[in-house]
Amino acid sequence: MKNIFFNLFAITCFLLMAGCSSEDVTHPNQNGIPKATDIKAEVSVDQTTNIVTFKIDNQSNNPVWFFNDGKVSTVNGCTKVYTVAGTYSVEIKMSNANGISEGSVVKQFTITNSLIDFAAIYNKIAGTSSKQWVWDADIAGHVACGPSGSDGTLWYSAKPNEKAAVGLYDDVLTFNSDKSYTYDPGEGGTVFVNTNCTIFKEYNNGADFMAPVSKQTASWTVSVEGNDLYLVFPAKTMIGYIPDDEAYNNPKFRILSLSENSMELVSDNGKIAWHFALKTKVI
């Protein structure tokens, strides 16, 4: 909400200054502020490309588009690509040299087709019925970290089998085709936790530590944000290593790569990106 108010203030200042010069200064007219009831907004969807065009038909006025992803645009005729089928909405305010409308209009529109083949993705993760995944301990970087926004491997990269003593490699992650999920902490019955976490603090000895946990059942899904694909779980769902509180309270992992037998995930809290590598369990 704070960002929205800041954006509105910045947009208002820009619009009031636009077109003014030292020789021709205009002053805002309170009576000239546009009304939301006058907004004539059109949202056009190209169902073959999923490109959506946003436009208003109000001369001498400019649109202010507020999108669901938090982005704001003042371009009349701006376009966005929506990769996933569904019903979306956009909020529109109208502005001119006198200010921005107090009210707004909300327009809904529908995308009928996804640009991503989710069926193929689900099949790679869970198969036709169920798949078990374990940590790919034999490769370097199966646990790694790096700067936010990266693939999470630039700062630290675990050597093959480096984490053998922390109860990570016997953990089993089971993905079922009905979108159910099971985390089994293995024979050791523990989850590996980063020392900077505030959760399980009674077991924190000042270094990365193991905390006893029980087998956990939850759900899983896949979502798209912009050009990124995410593996998403309910809050407090575990996958074997908890790098920070955010990964526990809001477990969402960017899918860096995915095949029938391997999966690379990135957990990014905006400060640090953690890289995890999994492989299917050989039964």
* Bridge partners, residue 51, by sequence: 46, 81
* Bridge partners, residue 184, by sequence: 172
Reported confidence tier of residue 8, pLDDT bands at 50, 70, 90: low
Task: Look up the pTM and report it.
Answer: 0.71
Are 78 and 12 in contact by the 8 Å Cβ rule? The answer is no
Q: How many domains does the chain have?
A: 2
Least reliable range by pLDDT among 121-125, 207-211, 224-228: 224-228
Instruction: Give CA separation, 139 vs 78, 143, 156, 199, 260, in Å.
Output: 45, 9, 14, 29, 17
Look at residue 69 in the predicted model and tell me its pLDDT: 81
Same-domain check for residues 166 and 254: yes
Nearest Cα to 231, choosing from 222, 219, 244, 243? 222
Look at residue 256 in the predicted model and tell me its pLDDT: 93
Same-domain check for residues 56 and 77: yes
Q: For residue 262, give the H/E element and its range.
A: strand 262-268
CA atoms of 211 and 198, how far apart (whole Å): 12
Same-domain check for residues 133 and 9: no
Same-domain check for residues 152 and 275: yes
CA atoms of 222 and 121, how far apart (whole Å): 8
Same-domain check for residues 123 and 164: yes
Same-domain check for residues 190 and 83: no
Same-domain check for residues 12 and 88: yes
Choosing from 111, 144, 170, the residue where a domain stops is 111
CA atoms of 133 and 182, how far apart (whole Å): 10
CA atoms of 274 and 194, how far apart (whole Å): 11
Choosing from 111, 146, 163, the residue where a domain stops is 111
Would you state the structure tokens that stand for residue 271, as one six-digit string? Answer: 């400060």
Look at residue 60 in the predicted model and tell me its pLDDT: 85
Placement of tokens 């939301």 in the chain: 36
Look at residue 98 in the predicted model and tell me its pLDDT: 87
What is the domain range of residue 229?
Answer: 118-280
Are 140 and 158 in contact by the 8 Å Cβ rule? The answer is yes
Same-domain check for residues 181 and 93: no
Reported confidence tier of residue 269, pLDDT bands at 50, 70, 90: very high
| CATH code of the domain covering residue 76 | 2.60.40.10
Are 269 and 247 in contact by the 8 Å Cβ rule? The answer is yes
Same-domain check for residues 178 and 161: yes
Choosing from 111, 145, 175, the residue where a domain stops is 111
What pLDDT, in 10s, does the model give residues 175-205?
A: 999 999 999 999 999 999 999 999 999 999 9
Same-domain check for residues 94 and 168: no
Same-domain check for residues 127 and 233: yes
Same-domain check for residues 209 and 260: yes
CA atoms of 164 and 174, how far apart (whole Å): 21
CA atoms of 65 and 88, how far apart (whole Å): 13
pLDDT at 14 over 60: no
| CATH code of the domain covering residue 194 | 2.40.128
Reported confidence tier of residue 102, pLDDT bands at 50, 70, 90: confident
CA atoms of 89 and 156, how far apart (whole Å): 41
